[in-house]
Amino acid sequence: MIFNSLEYAIFLPLIFVLYWFVAKKHLAWQNILLLAASLYFYGCWDWRFLFLLSFSTFLGYFTGIRIEMAVATSWRKFWFWLSIVLNVGFLAIFKYYNFFVSSFADLFNSFGMQIDSSSLTLNLILPVGISFYTFHVLSYVIDIYYDRIKSERNIVDFGLFVAYFPLLVAGPIERATHLLPQIQKERKFDYAKAVDGLRQILWGLFKKVVVADGCAEWANMIFDGYTDYSGSMLLMGAIFFTFQIYCDFSGYSDIALGTSRLFGIELLRNFAFPYFSRDIAEFWRRWHISLTTWFRDYLYIPLGGSKGGTWMKIRNTFIIFLVSGFWHGANWTFIVWGALNAFYFLPLMLTNSNRNNLEIVAQGRFIPSIRELFGMILTFFMAVFGWIFFRSNNLHQAIEFIKRMFNKGLFKSPNLPELSNLTIAFIGFFLIIEWFGREQQYALHNFGTRWYTPFRWLFYSFLIVCVIVLSGKEQEFIYFQF
């Protein structure tokens, strides 16, 4: 069951009605209902995945209590590392084992040793959302170990923290310090919040179905047949993918946040208009925020952050970007993408200008300055270039794609199919709305809320019309594979 499916359109109202009408007087019932719904939601992919999710949940629950109860430091360490090793171990086996085996085999083969990697690889299906819920559990265990939080004794509440369906398969990656207190607190229905949640779901659906899936059609066409196209067409393919990945993932996050708001639970913000960033440091503060801050808090700072000398700063920057790239998938393309972003970031960090742009661009104004505009365009195209690696199937394709893009064909007019004009028009519309709403939590947060009701409804109807007309076969969200 995915957010842009008819099944979800039936599932969500049903849970909503049960939650607020049947279970509204008892917090425990509400949590049990949400947990049951979450397990059903996850089981819809493959019921066998539920065993791994349950194991991860019980492991986090049990080791969390043990860490807290342990008197001796050695036992604290033991339970802590047991939890870390098992959680990371499962992630490594399901996600990275085959990659390491084939990479090592390639390495040995290049030295003339004959190793057949196919006999060593495992035929495993990557469980949906494993990277996300593993990180939930890891952050919980780390926080207990460092005495930031108390362990959770209620298994339903803890289970809900790990498996809460809006964020289970593609985040945002929540923290126990943020989500658990909300799960434990009584929740009352708030009309304004519910309407806001619905609005965010609608905007998320528009981004996913209209912009992301529309761009996917052309990006796939161009990336799959990149040898047949001119440089300008390849550039268009990379730009289409740039909008596809953003609208796909931030669309998912909007639907997740909006859904959760319907149940009175606020989730962490995941995107803050990253394509309006004026430098790459700002981009990374606005892109996949929950993952970036996770790595900052649980990896970068423990490694020493930016407190040490220059070499330590460089080392830590590379580690965090390479791990971030590798988190996305077991492929060299993601690692190169991470490394490329580290190279983008380093000059800013070494010149202490990585925190120059903390506020949103043109705050309080409508038109940005020339300098801001230049910064935005440059950062956008740096991101476009990076996404070529992210989208390519392998490094060879990425390099060939770039080589073919930077030739004289780059300056020819792209020969796009007629229907792509509609997608370009939707990208334009989307950018305008995002620009208007860039100072808000999400673009539609305040957009049109003061309009005369029929006009507002007409605007919402327009978005729904676009979503319905353009929804053909359901397209999965890109980040499900991570």
Partner 1 sequence: MKKLVFRLFIFALCFFLLDKAFIPIRNSAPGREVDRRLEMIVTGKIHSDVLIFGSSRGARSVIAKVFTDSLGISAYNLSFPGSDVTFHEYLLRTTLNTKGNKKPKSVILVVDDSDELKVSKSLKFRFDRMYPLVRYKVIREELVNRKEKKPILNELLVLHQLNKSTFLFKQRKFTKNDSIMPCGSMPISHQKKTFNKIYKSQPYTYSKDQELIQKISAFREFKDLCKNNGIQFIVAIPPNFRTVTRGFKDRLLQVMNGYGEVWMYDSLNSVYSNSNYFFDNAHLQTNGSYVYTNELIRYYAKINGLKFL
The residues binding partner 1 (CB under 8 A) are 6, 20-21, 189, 191, 194-195, 214, 224-225, 418-419, 422, 457, 460-461, 464-465, 468-473
CB of 141 to partner 1, least distance (A): 38
b/e 48-72 (16+ beta carbons within 10 angstroms → b): ebbeebeebbebbbbbbbbbbeeee
Query: Judged by CB, which is closer to partner 1: 16, or 380?
Result: 16
Cα-Cα-Cα-Cα dihedral of 31, 32, 34, 39, to 10°? 140
Query: Judged by CB, which is closer to partner 1: 69, or 195?
Result: 195
Catalytic residue among 26, 288, 328, 396: 328
* Catalytic site includes residue 328: yes
Calpha distance 219→242 (Å, rounded): 9
Q: What is the DSSP letter of 118?
A: G
CB of 258 to partner 1, least distance (A): 14
CB of 473 to partner 1, least distance (A): 6
CB of 198 to partner 1, least distance (A): 8
Report long-range pairs for 97-104 (Cβ below 8 Å, ≥24 apart): 97/121, 97/122, 97/124, 98/122, 98/124, 98/330, 99/330, 99/331, 100/330, 103/332
> Which pair of structure tokens corresponds to residue 141?
């265990």
> Which pair of structure tokens corresponds to residue 9?
């359109």
Calpha distance 479→128 (Å, rounded): 9
Q: What is the DSSP letter of 228?
A: G
Contacts for 440 with CB less than 8 Å, ≥ 6 apart: 446, 447
Query: Judged by CB, which is closer to partner 1: 4, or 316?
Result: 4
Query: Judged by CB, which is closer to partner 1: 54, or 420?
Result: 420
Calpha distance 302→344 (Å, rounded): 23
**3-class secondary structure, 305:** coil
- If we measure between CA atoms, which residue out of 183, 170, 198 comes closest to residue 42? 170
Q: What is the DSSP letter of 478?
A: G
| Amino acid identity, position 277 | S
CB of 422 to partner 1, least distance (A): 5
Query: Judged by CB, which is closer to partner 1: 309, or 472?
Result: 472
Q: What is the DSSP letter of 414?
A: P
CB of 319 to partner 1, least distance (A): 41
Q: How many residues does the chain have?
A: 482
CA–CA distance from 5 to each of 10, 168, 238, 468 (Å)?
Answer: 9, 17, 27, 11
Query: Judged by CB, which is closer to partner 1: 377, or 419?
Result: 419
Query: Judged by CB, which is closer to partner 1: 9, or 350?
Result: 9
CB of 235 to partner 1, least distance (A): 22
Calpha distance 243→250 (Å, rounded): 10
Burial class (CB in 10 A: 0-12, 13-18, 19+), 90: middle
CB of 453 to partner 1, least distance (A): 9
Query: Judged by CB, which is closer to partner 1: 39, or 205?
Result: 205
Q: Active-site residues: which are they?
A: 328
